[in-house]
Structure 1
Amino acid sequence: MIQTDLPDGPARPVVRGLAACLSAVTEVPLGQLPAVEDLPVTHAVASWKSWLAGHGFGIVPIADPRSFQWAGWWIAVVERGASPRTDDDGRQVAVLAFGTPPGVVLSPQDPALLGRGTADLDVSSGYAVASLDPVLPGAQDQPPLTGVVELLAVAPRVAAPMRLVASARALAGRGLEGDRYADGSGTFSPRGAHRPGYELTLIAAEVVEELTAADAALTFTSTRRNVLTRGIDVNALVGRAFSLGEVRCRGLRLAEPCAHLERLHGPGLLRPLIHRGGLRADILTDGTITSGSRIRTEPATGAAR
């Protein structure tokens, strides 16, 4: 994502806002987007759709943007004021949203909306930019990675403060003993059948230190992750088996930030943690993890296609 301000020009404010959001998420400078002067929103989106198709992407209208959830970027149009609403009277504002639940990470027309959860806004329409070719990459040779567990933290219930612990008992298929996700009571704990990726979270100390330098209120515990690592690229653990001391785990996906984290910590945490919020992992074996435990990846055995 690149920072993009609201461009000048004769186009409707919401269309200029949409262009800024599209520029930010595609990282294509505004001047290289197709010109959409004097076009209504639907025609502007159609123009961008044709342009994106030439690059292997599409822009897809979201059927129910008020309840839309996915751990990625999407563009929302927010209504301000009472009806009647049109796309040229300044009442519509385009924002870029991210996370599950989603929060606003870019709002060129109205910066006051930054950090707000889309569930708290009057979202009238939304668009997702997605690849036209979803083929997954095959298995590749991956170098071994090592690191160390620096800190551990658990929270006994939803929204409770994270508590540092010297060691934690890992329970296969559940989580860390004493943590809300181990007993299925976390904010995002699956209801009903087990779903992968909700047992353990990790984040790199290097990321936390960088963000702390800019925001003294940020600490490891305010990220609400379980394991603080050092010396290892946690993003590179997605899809890989690894061990934390004697405990075997598998990295499932990035632990992207969301509006819930922003509400608990305060404004300003959502955007800096995009793609840097750590890792969601499953616990494969019981055992004890301690501060100082070594982190080691296991040899790759092939990837699913």
Structure 2
Amino acid sequence: MTLPPADSMLGQLMARLPRAGRVEWIGLRPARDVPMQAVAVADATAGAGLSGDRYGGGSGKRGVTLIQAEHLPAIAALAGHADVAPATLRRNLVVSGIPLAALKGRRFRIGDVVLEGTEDCDPCSRMECALGPGGFNAMRGMGGLCARIVEGGTLAVGAPVEALPVDAEEVDVEAGR
């Protein structure tokens, strides 16, 4: 994803976030077609993934998958459910309080781990089974974000999720420059 120049008004607006977020849930997929395992902490390896996750040694750009906690009730409603458990959606991290879409194409920190948002985490056909007929479409646009691990470390439930500063001069957004 190509971001606008950081010194442009649009670049500055896209870099400004209202607050830090928080990790609400962590899950690992130990193998294909097995239930997710909820954990309190997970080890993240730079250029790879999470220890104990089936994608832990895989490609760097999809080392961790994240989903917005605020989207879970919307997905549940659209799929015709009262609620949906995070493990059902098969993402590694559920985060709240920070818009994941704003982290696409930029670096962010969770605890001592530095990640970079690489691409949307679109739903897969498994959501039809997990959520029922129409589950794939219920999740479209709210599937979350894939990220590569730039600096490894430990992820923990409750850790802050913070966008890293964009390297550019400050732009006076109020003045339109």
The normalised TM-score by structure 2 is: 0.81
Q: Which protein shows a greater Rg?
A: 1
Alignment of 1:266 with 2:132, yes or no, is yes
The change in CA–CA distance for 1:264 and 1:197 in structure 2 (over 3 A counts) is farther
Q: Which amino acid aligns with 2:73?
A: E
Q: Given the alignment, which residue of 7, 29, 51 partners 1:177?
A: 51
Q: Given the alignment, which residue of 16, 32, 39 partners 1:143?
A: 16
C-alpha displacement at 1:168, in angstroms? 0.5
In structure 2, what is the equivalent of residue 4 of structure 1?
A: none
C-alpha displacement at 1:250, in angstroms? 0.3
In structure 2, what is the equivalent of residue 295 of structure 1?
A: 161
Q: Given the alignment, which residue of 230, 245, 257 partners 2:96?
A: 230
Alignment of 1:283 with 2:149, yes or no, is yes
Structure 2: gaps spanning 5 or more residues: 6-10, 169-177
Alignment of 1:209 with 2:73, yes or no, is yes
Give the ranges of 4+ consecutive aligned residues of structure 1 lying more than 6 Å apart after TM superposition: none
C-alpha displacement at 1:217, in angstroms? 6.4
Give yes or no for contact 1:212–1:219 (8 Å, CA) kept in 2: no
Q: Residues 12-34 of structure 1, C-alpha deviation per residue, up to 9 Å, x if partnerless?
A: xxxxxxxxxxxxxxxxxxxxxxx
Structure 1: gaps spanning 5 or more residues: 1-135, 185-193
Q: Residues 150-176 of structure 1, C-alpha deviation per residue, up to 9 Å, x if partnerless?
A: 010001111211110011111111111
Alignment of 1:245 with 2:118, yes or no, is no
In 1, Cα distance between the equivalents of 2:25 and 2:85?
A: 12
Q: Given the alignment, which residue of 25, 32, 35 partners 1:161?
A: 35
Aligned length: 158
Q: Residues 30-57 of structure 1, C-alpha deviation per residue, up to 9 Å, x if partnerless?
A: xxxxxxxxxxxxxxxxxxxxxxxxxxxx
- What SS does the aligned partner of 1:270 have? helix
Q: Which amino acid aligns with 1:172?
A: A
What aligned pairs does 1:117-136 form with structure 2 within 5 A after superposition? none
The change in CA–CA distance for 1:240 and 1:137 in structure 2 (over 3 A counts) is closer
In 2, Cα distance between the equivalents of 1:143 and 1:221?
A: 31
Over the matched positions of the two proteins, sequence identity in percent amounts to 34
In 2, Cα distance between the equivalents of 1:208 and 1:183?
A: 28
What aligned pairs does 1:15-26 form with structure 2 within 5 A after superposition? none
Q: Which amino acid aligns with 1:199?
A: G
The normalised TM-score by structure 1 is: 0.48
In structure 1, what is the equivalent of residue 62 of structure 2?
A: 198
In 2, Cα distance between the equivalents of 1:212 and 1:154?
A: 21
In 1, Cα distance between the equivalents of 2:30 and 2:74?
A: 28
Give yes or no for contact 1:159–1:264 (8 Å, CA) kept in 2: no
Q: Which amino acid aligns with 2:61?
A: G
The change in CA–CA distance for 1:171 and 1:216 in structure 2 (over 3 A counts) is same
The change in CA–CA distance for 1:260 and 1:211 in structure 2 (over 3 A counts) is closer
C-alpha displacement at 1:272, in angstroms? 1.8
The change in CA–CA distance for 1:182 and 1:137 in structure 2 (over 3 A counts) is closer
In 2, Cα distance between the equivalents of 1:206 and 1:164?
A: 19
Q: Which amino acid aligns with 1:149?
A: V
Give yes or no for contact 2:110–2:155 (8 Å, CA) kept in 1: yes
